[in-house]
Amino acid sequence: MRGARIRRWVIILFVLIAALILVSLMALCTGAAGISPARIPGIIYGGKGTGEYSILFDIRLPRIILGFAIGGALSLAGTILQGIFRNPLVEPYTLGISGGASLGVCLNIVFNWYGVIGVIAYPISGFLGAVMVILFVYGLSMKAGTLKTQGILLTGVMISFISSSLVMLIMALSHSEDLHGIVFWIMGSLDEPDMLLVWVAVIGSLGGLVVSFFFCLDLNALALGEEEAVHLGINVERTKRVLFILASFLTGLSVSVAGIIGFVGLIIPHLIRMFTGTDHRILFISAFLAGASFLILCDTLARTVIQPFELPVGVITGIIGGAVFVYALSRRQVSL
């Protein structure tokens, strides 16, 4: 029985890794300047200085790497939060983290902080806004040393509404050039020219994946209920605190670098759970790989569907993710 389960997990991981490689290769070759896979070795051998080399390794490859990091981080955060709350409708943006990050970036654009410290001002302001919300929600939800999950959920939803209203107020009072920057950032984009931020996102997302594996069995026990988990010897409060902070960090990192990209952390854990089951030992890595593939695919569609213009990737993830979720719900593949 155990051997069959391990073989099944190996097959699932093999399929997901193969899908990630294929989607990444397609993204690398697809665009206004179409480049066949057979020509890539020759372009690499030709070295830097050619236009095709610049297109592949200065424009497309950084987007693929960032899509891998952000897609994986958001899917992992969604899987963690759905496990903590035991609620299939919880996603990374439910807790108001994206709202805080959006507010921070909007203030950055309006007050022209990026003109003082450069393009890094966007992720810094976004991450600081997310951290402020995390600390606020966490502080309000702690009661006598116990982290109240329902309190986190309700407080996060209210903070999200308040932040969204403040962002709309700023947009209404902004100049047209500031308004365009705010709208495009809110809709999400993987067009990040600073490779340092790209690698920070990669290291942060992979680090979050490694840390999450230490709590796989804890989350499996929490699925039975908190009382049952305590009887099984799980330190429930420590697990909830660490995983909440981890999911918040992954979400804040993703939003601060790439903007708001919705539905990745909601739909991917659902779809993967249909194939892997609820065991978080396979669910975490599977959701990470599937989320990375999904976001890379959506980014490829966003930059090619109406060439030469580019759509915000959050528009594509919202359309595809919403349609897939409604379909899965209609087929009774999603339990509410």
Query: What is the predicted pLDDT for the residue at 73?
Result: 95
C-alpha angle 328-292-127 in degrees, rounded to nearest 5: 105
C-alpha angle 300-32-183 in degrees, rounded to nearest 5: 55
Nearest of 164, 199, 173 to residue 109 by alpha carbon:
173
pLDDT tens sequence across 290-330:
999 999 999 999 988 887 778 888 889 988 888 887 877 77
Contacts of residue 240, defined as CB under 8 A and 6 or more positions apart, other chains included, come to: 84, 147, 149
| Lowest mean pLDDT across 171-175, 181-185, 308-312 | 181-185
Query: What is the predicted pLDDT for the residue at 336?
Result: 45
Q: Hey, which of 6-15, 224-233, 246-255 has the most confident mean pLDDT?
A: 6-15
Whether pLDDT at 27 is above 60: yes
pLDDT tens sequence across 219-243:
989 888 888 888 888 888 888 888 9
Whole-prediction pTM: 0.89
CATH number of 2-330: 1.10.3470.10
Query: What is the predicted pLDDT for the residue at 252?
Result: 83
Query: What is the predicted pLDDT for the residue at 66?
Result: 95
C-alpha angle 209-298-134 in degrees, rounded to nearest 5: 45
**% of the chain exceeding 70 in pLDDT:** 93
Query: What is the predicted pLDDT for the residue at 55?
Result: 81
Query: What is the predicted pLDDT for the residue at 115?
Result: 65
**% of the chain exceeding 90 in pLDDT:** 24
Q: What is the CA radius of gyration of the chain?
A: 20
**pLDDT band, very low/low/confident/very high, at 112 (cuts 50, 70, 90):** confident
**pLDDT band, very low/low/confident/very high, at 288 (cuts 50, 70, 90):** very high
Nearest of 266, 287, 295 to residue 23 by alpha carbon:
295
Bridge partners of residue 142, in order along the sequence: 147
Give burial (CB, 10 Å; 0-12/13-18/19+) of 202.
Answer: middle
One-letter amino acid of 233:
G
Q: Which residue has the higher pLDDT, 284 or 185?
A: 284
| Lowest mean pLDDT across 225-234, 239-248, 262-271 | 225-234
Name the residue ranges covered by the structural domains of the chain: 2-330
Check: CB of residue 239 under 8 Å from CB of residue 215. yes
Largest CA distance in the chain: 64
Estimate to the nearest angstrom the gap between the alpha carbon of 6 and the chain centroid: 27
Whether pLDDT at 335 is above 60: no
**pLDDT band, very low/low/confident/very high, at 194 (cuts 50, 70, 90):** confident
Q: What is the 3-state secondary structure (H, E, C) of the chain?
A: CHHHHHHHHHHHHHHHHHHHHHHHHHHHHCCCCCCCHHHHHHHHHHCCCCHHHHHHHHHHHHHHHHHHHHHHHHHHHHHHHHHHHCCCCCCHHHHCHHHHHHHHHHHHHHCCCHHHHCCCHHHHHHHHHHHHHHHHHHHHHEECCEECHHHHHHHHHHHHHHHHHHHHHHHHHCCHHHHHHHHHHHCCCCCCCCHHHHHHHHHHHHHHHHHHHCCHHHHHHHCCCHHHHHHCCCCHHHHHHHHHHHHHHHHHHHHHHHCCCCCHHHHHHHHHHHHHCCCHHHHHHHHHHHHHHHHHHHHHHHHHCCCCCCCCHHHHHHHHHHHHHHHHHHCCCCCC
**pLDDT band, very low/low/confident/very high, at 107 (cuts 50, 70, 90):** confident
Whether pLDDT at 278 is above 80: yes
**pLDDT band, very low/low/confident/very high, at 207 (cuts 50, 70, 90):** very high
Average pLDDT in the chain: 84
pLDDT tens sequence across 70-102:
999 999 999 999 988 887 778 887 778 888 888
User: In whole angstroms, what is the distance from residue 252 CA to residue 126 CA?
Assistant: 8
Query: What is the predicted pLDDT for the residue at 274?
Result: 85
